[in-house]
Amino acid sequence: MSTNLKVLLCALAGGGSLAILAALLRSRKLLRGLLFSAVSGVAALYAVNAAGLLTSMRLAVNGLTLGVSAIAGPPGVIALLLADAILKR
């Protein structure tokens, strides 16, 4: 993978994380929002891996995927699936 693509992916991930944090701060329910995002994201990661038994599309469970799924929630898991599908080719 080229350096430019790595920089672009990191910039997109950072921008997305900042947008999620800004939205949670504006709603004035930061702790509840973060907790809900973390629980639903980890549940989505579990669901993807459970469905992976049938579809053969699985994500590795490590610190990066748990962090992305906890911070970004289900959209983060979808982004991980898309990145995995694009980068495997």
Per-residue confidence (pLDDT) for residue 89, from 0 to 100: 61
- Nearby residues of 30 by Cβ (< 8 Å), 6 or more positions away: 24
- Cα angle at 51 between 45 and 55, to 5 degrees? 120
What span, in angstroms and rounded, lies between the C-alpha atoms of 37 and 27?
Answer: 14
Average pLDDT over the chain reads: 81
Going by pLDDT thresholds of 50, 70 and 90, the confidence category of residue 43 is: very high
- pLDDT value at 28 more than 80: no
- pLDDT value at 9 more than 80: no
What span, in angstroms and rounded, lies between the C-alpha atoms of 56 and 18?
Answer: 32
